[in-house]
Amino acid sequence: MAMKDFTKTLTAGLSRLDGREVVIVGDVGVDEYTLGQVRRISPEAPVPVVEVEKEEARLGLAANVAQNISGLGGVPRLVSVVGQDVGADQLRQLLRAADVPVEHLVVDSSRPTTRKLRVMVQNHHIVRVDYEKKKFLAQAVEAEVIKQVKTALESPKVVALIVQDYAKGVISESLVKTCVELAKAKGVKVLADPYRSTPLATYKGVELMTPNHDESIALSGVGADELRASNDTLNEIGRVLMEGVGSKTMVITRGKDGMRVFENGQVTDLPTNAKQVFDVTGAGDTVIAALALAWGSGFTLVEACALSNIAAGVVVGKIGCVPCRREELLAAIATL
């Protein structure tokens, strides 16, 4: 299906997104960048000395999903866990600047706020330093997260709930089960952006997942022999994933090959809309943000996927985790 076939429908329907709320549950973090030049080797050890010229901080992980919802005209309700530290203060400041409410963040003083510091020279990584604790939440903390999910779902404007998993510890099988029950009781769509090493059963009950190609293979558990025996590898993987979580819909993103949409036995391929690719970081966040907001706002699944495909094409033309803005999306649709 050609992307230009969606031009009129998407342009006319964008106003439906305004004010619609999406609950995002998952790991959050801050992406920090220290940029500079190397002109000498340290006399203390055989390592380069980076002369710092610029420092930046951006929203990462599920916080990037939230800022994409905001950038597209929706209202994100971000539910996550942060530490009691400078990183949490920095994260809240960045969220407020991106028009993302912070009242659903739960504080856990036993763990640090996730931060990833990248030292870079002329767009080349020198080193990355991670501040994080990969461990499931204590029972009391998870109970507080569930309380915040319930509160966020009380708004009648909520149209979707996203489970955003980066395997830092917020997402567990028990939390997903409760989120699914709470969301479905409100008539709210439930989507998941899975992590490749998380057991597939964790996402049982979600209506839609958006793994990329490599994640879909890892999550399916389909072995090499089975893949060779299949007439259509990707279709078989999609079937296994849908069966595993009990859904009738699935979206597998395929990078330069676009995305494949599974819906009630039908398969639709959408080509990529990226004009140029500088950095794929955060593209998956943009996909699920735009897809959830559009699907929950009344677009058909294929229309919502087309919209998310276009939005992803916008952000891969930039460096780092950045959101797709409504005006950028409109401009991209106009070029179809």
| pLDDT (0 to 100) of residue 300 | 96
- In a domain, residue 44? The reply is no
Choose between 152 and 333: higher pLDDT: 152
pLDDT tens-digit readout, 84-107? 999 999 999 999 999 999 999 999
Domain that holds residue 319: 3-38+51-334
Q: What percent of the chain has pLDDT over 70?
A: 93
Q: What percent of the chain has pLDDT over 90?
A: 77
User: What separation in angstroms does the CA of 166 have from each of 13, 195, 240?
Assistant: 31, 6, 22
- In a domain, residue 45? The reply is no
Residue 279 pLDDT class (50, 70, 90 cuts): very low
pLDDT tens-digit readout, 9-38? 888 889 999 999 999 999 999 999 999 999
- In a domain, residue 43? The reply is no
| pLDDT (0 to 100) of residue 283 | 86
- Total of domains in the chain: 1
| pLDDT (0 to 100) of residue 1 | 64
Burial class (CB in 10 A: 0-12, 13-18, 19+), 324: buried
- In a domain, residue 46? The reply is no
pLDDT tens-digit readout, 116-151? 999 999 878 899 999 999 999 999 999 999 999 999
Told to judge if 285 belongs to the known catalytic residues of this protein, a careful annotator would answer: yes
- In a domain, residue 243? The reply is yes
- In a domain, residue 225? The reply is yes
Partners of 82 in beta bridges: 107
pLDDT tens-digit readout, 69-89? 999 999 999 999 999 999 999
The one catalytic residue among 27, 108, 193, 285: 285
Residue 335 pLDDT class (50, 70, 90 cuts): confident
pTM: predicted TM-score of the whole model, two decimal places: 0.92
pLDDT tens-digit readout, 217-264? 999 987 656 665 555 788 999 999 999 999 999 999 998 888 999 999
| pLDDT (0 to 100) of residue 196 | 94
| pLDDT (0 to 100) of residue 289 | 96
Give the mean pLDDT of 180-185: 98
Output the domain CATH number for residue 200.
3.40.1190.20
Residues with Cβ < 8 Å from 64, sequence gap 6 or more?
58, 282, 285, 286, 321, 323
Residue 318 pLDDT class (50, 70, 90 cuts): low
**Contacts of the segment 248-252: beta carbons below 8 A, 24+ positions apart:** 249/207, 249/208, 249/301, 250/208, 250/209, 251/208, 251/209, 251/210, 251/287, 251/291, 251/305, 252/210, 252/211, 252/212, 252/213, 252/216
- Mean pLDDT (the chain) is 92
